[in-house]
Structure 1
Amino acid sequence: MYTRFAGRLAVAAGLICHVAPATAQAADTALYQVSDGSKVDGHTLAGWRTWRAMACERCHGAAQEGMVGPSLVGSLKVLSKEQFKEVVLKGRIEKGMPNFDGSKMVADNIDSLYAYLKGRSDGAIQPGRLQEIGK
């Protein structure tokens, strides 16, 4: 009950934290933290920076809504974290998705990249430039 109330309070305060369903995790283990749609925690910001550095928008669009590649806003509603990691790291060559397991930046930031894209998929993070919360 307390977790549900705290979640509603966070949304009302403009802080949206995604916590895995059916768990009562502490706020510091939330997948991502967002304020005002464009301010995120450092972990999530690293994911956005990875997205930008790898130029993923060339195929998935600047707002992650798809172009040559599929909409990630839609895909992350159905892919598990493990499935996402497999696709990004191993690729889907037959569908035009290269593998990124050879990229140190992607490998080091795969959880952050997932957090960023999950926040976009959930509608909590707005498209465009992000800043770190509190900076």
Structure 2
Amino acid sequence: MRARLAAAVLLSALVMAAAGASHDALSQQPSGAGQGSAQPRGKTVSTPLYTVKDGNKVDPKTLLGWKTWRAMACERCHGAEQEGLVGPALVNSLKVLTKEQFHTTIMNGRLEKGMPPFSASQMVQDNWENLYAYLKGRSDGNIKPGHLYPIDGDQRAAQQ
């Protein structure tokens, strides 16, 4: 009985020590580290494909790409944060997929993997490059998951 009690006390002490050590390690990280924030607040990133400020304010074309993503319900297969469900994680795929490969994939689908073609969708036909820009920004870590807004602050544009 005494040996069991001693073992339980020792195990509890080890667990508490480990928890304290991990808390100390986390508290020594720079602010925002370990939270997946690839972009500090107030920073604007501009690439040939997209412009993003504060991680959730984007140029008009990228905003249209995000709206296309939402309208086509791509999150049903690829996840709300593009990290994959039954479909692949697009935040990873867009690191290697070229614009042309992306276009071919969304227009023709990947029937063997369960992805339908979207070539019949006028919205996709009109906005596939904007969708690519949005997903590339997510893949690059510059666009945060969640709701996006126009850079100019016009909230009406985000709701259209």
TM-score bucket (shorter structure): 0.7 to 0.9
| Structure-1 residue corresponding to 2:102 | 84
| Structure-1 residue corresponding to 2:54 | 36
User: Percent of aligned pairs with the same residue?
Assistant: 62
Offset at 1:69?
0.1
Unaligned 5+ residue runs, structure 1? 1-10, 19-29
Q: In the alignment, which of 34, 38, 46 is matched to residue 17 of structure 1? A: 46
What is the TM-score when the length of structure 2 is the normalising length?
0.69
Give the ranges of 4+ consecutive aligned residues of structure 1 lying more than 6 Å apart after TM superposition: none
CA-atom RMSD in angstroms: 1.3
Structure 1 or 2, whichever has the larger Rg, is: 2
**Per-residue CA distance 1:22-80 (angstroms, 9 max, x = gap):** xxxxxxxx200000000000000000000000000000000000000000000000100
What is the TM-score when the length of structure 1 is the normalising length?
0.82
Structure-2 change in CA distance of 1:17 and 1:58 (3 Å): same
- Within 2, Cα distance between the matches of 1:75 and 1:96? 16
Offset at 1:13?
6.1
Unaligned 5+ residue runs, structure 2? 1-39, 154-160
SS of the residue corresponding to residue 124 of structure 2 reads: helix
Aligned length: 114
- Within 1, Cα distance between the matches of 2:128 and 2:116? 15
Counterpart amino acid of 2:50? Y
**Per-residue CA distance 1:104-132 (angstroms, 9 max, x = gap):** 00000000000000000000000000000
| Structure-2 residue corresponding to 1:114 | 132
- Within 2, Cα distance between the matches of 1:92 and 1:67? 15
